[in-house]
Chains A and B, each alone.
Chain A
Amino acid sequence: MINVYDILETIRMIQDECLDIRTITMGISLLDCIDSDIDKACTKVYDKITRCAENLVKTGESIEKEYGIPIINKRLSVTPIAMISAACDADPVKFAHTMDKAAASCGVNLIGGYSALVQKGFSAGDERLIRSIPRALAETERVCSSVNIGSTKTGINMDAVKLMGGIVREAAELTVDNRCFGAAKLVVFCNAVDDNPFMAGAFHGVGEPDCIINVGVSGPGVVRSALRKYPDANINELADIIKKTAYKITRVGQLVGVRASEALGVPFGIVDLSLAPTPAVGDSVAYILEEMGLEKCGCAGTTACLAMLNDAVKKGGVMACSRIGGLSGAFIPVSEDAGMIAAAECGSLLIEKLEAMTAVCSVGLDMIVIPGDTPAEVISGIIADEAAIGMVNSKTTAVRVIPAVGCKEGDVLDWGGLFGRGPVMNVNKFSPAAFINRGGQIPAPLHSLRN
């Protein structure tokens, strides 16, 4: 029989330490829905999404029950809509409404893929789609959007960076009645990945199969509880404990992915080896860092602790599943992490420190509320800095900042649920406008002589 302690450990992880599967995300290719008539294209998009994802939620719920493991989100990602809408000379927001309707009909809470990939330049339809993002996010409930503006191989498209600063602002302005929520559904990437199961940045890459299941695991609470048992362990021992815990967490992701894939008759893609926090107390990445010995997340030593955590999670997870992908690493979204919120509110955690942290973990400046009067050029500057970190270090980085229109430093935007609440954080007031307005392309970096 299975070891009694193992059984009790599993049950404790689920019931007391917030172990869960964060998301099962079905990726659906819409390339076969392209049509020059936007109405026909939208009908095809709706039919394909609802056909592929008809049983997604039901299957997720039945796996949840069988194994007793909560699956928090069942979501959808689709081919970047800029590729589908390029053929139609019409307002692409219609696609957003179609995605919203299809997601509602399948019972999923978010659908990603209102996206464009413009790391080297704008192709037909890209700029039109990007300019429509604020409206699409304001007029729909479930649609998420992302734009890839740079990569290690191409460099950074500074025209797109300039454009996106304004788009992020506009997304917040158009949803000011809804606590600027539009900007929380918009991610600006460098080195975006094709198989990311996490929102708001998920889209279904063009190299992916027609339909696929990707799984994102979670479990910061489990890691923290494991570390708490060893207050005197040295860093090597801590890394080993994290690896073992990550292995167990990821095994559950693999099991759920395989079962979902069998039940839905859809190939199993990847497990995203992640530590994804939620605003629930006890499910925080910041608290893991504090458990390691930091007085408060954001103090000196934070980047080093996070680098070790991130690496150990991957090392433990790699052995646990057959295919790994997505963003894989510890996430540090401020508003979605009780420890990060507390650290930001007491002044320990600053945007500059968060930027340094993004160089060693997944994925970027995430869910950060900035003052409502932050100019578009400053947001573009933040995007450019973050993209530069991703480009040079060959990793995915992203920016999801929410300009809190009408709010100032110290105020709080509260969305509730998984998106949490974020205090308005201070942003450097000096302007990068002249740099941003130059436009052009930052050339791809050299890959030898690395220092």
Chain B
Amino acid sequence: MKAVITVIGKDAVGILAKVSTICAENNANVIEVTQSVLQDMFAMIMLVDITGLSSDFPKLQDTLTALGDSLGLKITTLHEDIFNTMHSI
């Protein structure tokens, strides 16, 4: 089982580090990261394996959303199925 974390907002120091730390704390393995900074807008998409989560998925979602709120970023954590289902036949 995998999840997609998207982070969008104003660029700042340590965003990637903070998101990865939360993933590590919850035993979510980061598989792939794409990141871009256009002007000062930061956009990152991270694919993580959530099979061996030490907590449950809703808790990981809430923790990341709270991190986003504290940094002024929009962080969305969703099960990968919704993307696969919507964009493939």
A66 within 8 A of B: yes
Contact present for B86 and A10 (CB under 8 Å): yes
Which among B10-18, B21-29, B72-80 touches the partner chain?
Answer: B72-80
Contact present for A319 and B89 (CB under 8 Å): yes
Contact present for A65 and B61 (CB under 8 Å): yes
**In the docked arrangement, what's the CA distance between A271 and B89, Å?**
17
B45 within 8 A of A: yes
Question: Nearest Cβ in chain A — how far from B42, in angstroms?
Answer: 13
Which among A96-104, A250-258, A394-402 touches the partner chain?
Answer: A250-258
- CB nearest neighbor in B for A255: B85
Interface centre among B4, B34, B84, B86 (most CB of A within 10 A): B86
A183 within 8 A of B: no
Q: Are A252 and B82 also in contact (CB < 8 A) when A2-B4, A7-B45 are?
A: yes
**In the docked arrangement, what's the CA distance between A248 and B89, Å?**
10
**In the docked arrangement, what's the CA distance between A252 and B84, Å?**
10
Q: Give residues of chain A (55-110) contacting chain B, Cβ–Cβ below 8 Å.
A: 62, 65-69
Question: Nearest Cβ in chain A — how far from B19, in angstroms?
Answer: 15
**In the docked arrangement, what's the CA distance between A196 and B87, Å?**
27
Residues of B within 8 A of A66 (CB): 57-58, 78-79
Contact present for B83 and A7 (CB under 8 Å): yes
B6 within 8 A of A: yes
Q: Are A6 and B78 also in contact (CB < 8 A) when A11-B6, A65-B58 are?
A: no
Q: Are A67 and B32 also in contact (CB < 8 A) when A7-B4, A10-B83 are?
A: no
Contact present for A4 and B57 (CB under 8 Å): no
A446 within 8 A of B: no
**In the docked arrangement, what's the CA distance between A206 and B35, Å?**
54
**In the docked arrangement, what's the CA distance between A255 and B81, Å?**
8
Question: Nearest Cβ in chain A — how far from B30, in angstroms?
Answer: 12
- CB nearest neighbor in B for A69: B82
By a beta-carbon cutoff of 8 Å, the part of chain B in contact with chain A is 4, 6, 31-32, 34, 43, 45, 47, 57-58, 61, 76-87, 89
Contacts A/B (CB < 8 Å), 15 sampled: A1-B34, A2-B47, A7-B6, A7-B83, A8-B45, A10-B87, A11-B78, A65-B58, A66-B58, A66-B78, A67-B78, A67-B79, A67-B81, A68-B78, A252-B82
By a beta-carbon cutoff of 8 Å, the part of chain A in contact with chain B is 1-4, 6-11, 15, 62, 65-69, 248, 251-252, 254-255, 319
Q: A7-B45, A11-B6, A66-B57 are in contact. List 11 more A-B contacts (CB 8 A).
A: A1-B45, A2-B80, A6-B86, A9-B87, A15-B76, A67-B78, A67-B79, A68-B77, A68-B78, A248-B87, A251-B85
